[in-house]
Structure 1
Amino acid sequence: MPPSRASADALLSWYDRHARRLPWRTPPGGPAPDPYAVWLSEVMLQQTTVAAVIPYYERFLSRWPTVSDLAAAPQDDVLTEWAGLGYYARARNLHKCAKVVADEHGGVFPDTEDGLRALPGIGAYTAAAVAAIAFGQPATVVDGNVERVMARLFAVTEPLPDSKADLKRLAATLTPRKRAGDYAQAVMDLGATVCTPRSPSCLGCPWQEPCAAQSEGIQDQLPKKRRKTAKPVRRGVAFWVIDGTGRALLRKRPDSGLLGGMTEVPSTPWQEDATWTPDAALPHAPVTVEGWRPLPGLVRHTFTHFHLELAVLTAALSHPGPEDAGRWVDVADMGGEALPTLMRKVVKHALQAALDPHH
């Protein structure tokens, strides 16, 4: 039989038995969860795995139990707690959104998609998710899991991302008016645990019978995706400097742009197709000191749109570091610093080089 609204009932029955237990959820058929908890989890889950998000979510909720608590926090504290979760514009927008909800909405989230979309940093997906899960609105929630399920259910062979609008339209035909929040989470769970990217477990799927791709035997081929273009490589030089008291220099990146507002090991700009020589890099050094020397090897990191290669220059001061250069941190305390993943790699690279007598 073709996919129909009746399929929602089959999926909800499956969800009642197989729903994942996650800290931001309430049990199937239970009371609606706190909109703050739903919003916080959905923002964190964008482009991040559930396993990675759970400890961050629990720390955030413990430190800031309400949206008003989060709004009252300094942005630097929010960025510090976020460090390592990636995509740091999400953290800045999270804080900005909390302030608007606290200051302009009395600490209460709007209960419609349109009202949620008007808040900073909330796009179509997050607005639909919060509206459905927290407020029971019949909103159509479409993430990567849902796109995959719909592409197979309706045998959509047009590649992503060109098929996104069509997949959302098809998903909307199945969204029920009742238990909309449970249904939204059920489709996501189905994609995460049964209708997986590789080797989907069709025999255990509540939608096996109406699935067009399964009946045609093409489920493993869907969804199709356009061939990705190769990511460019950008290069830069990081400066690892230790002062006479055993402290390393860190500083804060500008609020806008990549890793905005985060703590960094100072570096040159990151340029595409540029091989930095020490002479070209040194004008960007955070302090003036003789004896900068290159460390062997490179620090490599991949962002959404490019690969990055950082060489590291190191130097030592014989006196306490100048306070206007940034923030000087005891090397022994560096492990406790809330650094983005890239900068953790730079620190690890520098500290390992310091321990190697051949360096």
Structure 2
Amino acid sequence: MAESNFVDYVKIFCKSGQGGAGSAHLRREKYIPKGGPDGGDGGRGGHIILEGNEHKWTLLHLKYKKHIKAGNGESGGAQRMTGADGEDIILEVPLGTIVRDGETGEFILEVTEHGQQKTLMKGGRGGQGNDHFKTSTNQTPRYAQPGEDGEEGWKILELKVLADVGLVGFPSAGKSTLLSVVSAAKPKIADYPFTTLTPNLGIVGHREQRSFVMADIPGIIEGAHEGKGLGLRFLRHIERNPMLLFMVPADSEDHLKEYNILLSELEKYNPELLDKQRFLAISKADMLDQELMKEISTELKGIPHLFFSSVTGYNVQQLKDTIWEILNS
């Protein structure tokens, strides 16, 4: 997907339809001069509905569609004819989309399954016709209910990528390279910071036709929780992943310090992220000999970790085995 086409945040104004008015019609036919009330009910206003679509990966299609308005219900007619309902608006969204109130930021709903429909705004109810209001003392009511107004307001749609494993690391830690090796994903790869500007997803094949989904999250830097670098824009995607795979490159000056900075940034953004399953992978292990690996392992004492190389394939299968075990523990 083109980087410029990845949109994970939009703010739109939504208005559901107004209900149609009930009819105050009185039956008047040639041989029935006093037929009484026969006004029908108004139709309901159109709903605004969100529908999950697993084939969509971005909110780009809503970025330039700032105002969403459903149809109004039609008025009731004679002979107790109910007015037509207003046209519903169905907005297709990627799985993992959440909606918040545009004024308060309060959570409203989330869509996580393909084909799942959730009503964002209900249309107004149609008014009742005068037929509902006749009584023994008022047999010809000449009034009916107006239709109810629809709902309106600003809504915020956020996309949080759905994946089993989220890759967490500083820029140029080798996350994109790993994803390209273990899946069919083709992320942009280069040896400079912030090569990855959008989350990339890849399906990782495992033994016996098993698989899991891995997400390459754009690199974190110190101060990301305050919005530095790509900051808060992509930290939200990590919230969806049940497991976090931390990656520190072999050529790091201080592996433990780098790992602790990553942990600290996640904790400052959302302390609950530290409750997730996590594992540390030392990438670019082809740069190390056995003696250096022992030194780094001593430095990381007590932290489960594994050395691997995406370039040579060293320990890549063992890394996938470890991830699978953690996901299914």
User: Normalising by the residue count of structure 2, what TM-score does the alignment of the two structures yield?
Assistant: 0.22
Normalized per residue, the structure richer in helix is 1
User: Normalising by the residue count of structure 1, what TM-score does the alignment of the two structures yield?
Assistant: 0.21
Normalized per residue, the structure richer in strand is 2
